[in-house]
């Protein structure tokens, strides 16, 4: 009898991948600079995208680099707004305008670039 190890491996890998992403929580940090219009737009945009595509499976922490400069220094934030995806790995950073939904989804590994 001929075995098909590659096919079995692929099925197992796909199952594990689906299982891992089913209840996966995204841990996100959004670094902003005060309550400027640009910061408010970034907060609103990322919350809308997260609710639409992640449901309740995300934890978003908004950090004002004026109030907590040490956190920005530790993360080596040099521009704001910056969104950092801590989990799931790999770590990702998106800098600048977060209103382009496709760009944000691609940066969070939720959608492939078309």
Q: What are the pLDDT digits (tens) for 63-108?
A: 999 999 999 999 999 999 999 999 999 999 999 989 999 999 999 8
Q: Which of 6-10, 44-48, 65-69, 84-88 has the lowest mean pLDDT?
A: 6-10
- Predicted TM-score (pTM) of the model is 0.76
CB 29 within 8 A of CB 11: no
Q: Tell me, what's the pLDDT at 113? A: 47
Mean pLDDT for 9-38 is 75
């Amino acid at each position: 009898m001929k075995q098909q190890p590659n096919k079995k491996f692929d099925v197992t890998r796909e199952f594990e991948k689906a299982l891992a992403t089913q209840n996966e929580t995204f841990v996100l940090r959004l670094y902003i600079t005060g309550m400027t219009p640009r910061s408010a737009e970034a907060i609103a945009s990322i919350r809308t995208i997260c609710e639409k595509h992640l449901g309740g499976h995300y934890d978003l922490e908004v950090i004002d680099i004026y109030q907590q400069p040490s956190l920005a220094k530790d993360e080596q934030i040099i521009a704001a707004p910056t969104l950092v995806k801590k989990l799931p790995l790999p770590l990702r950073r998106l800098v600048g305008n977060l209103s382009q939904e496709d760009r944000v989804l691609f940066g969070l590994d939720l959608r492939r670039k078309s």
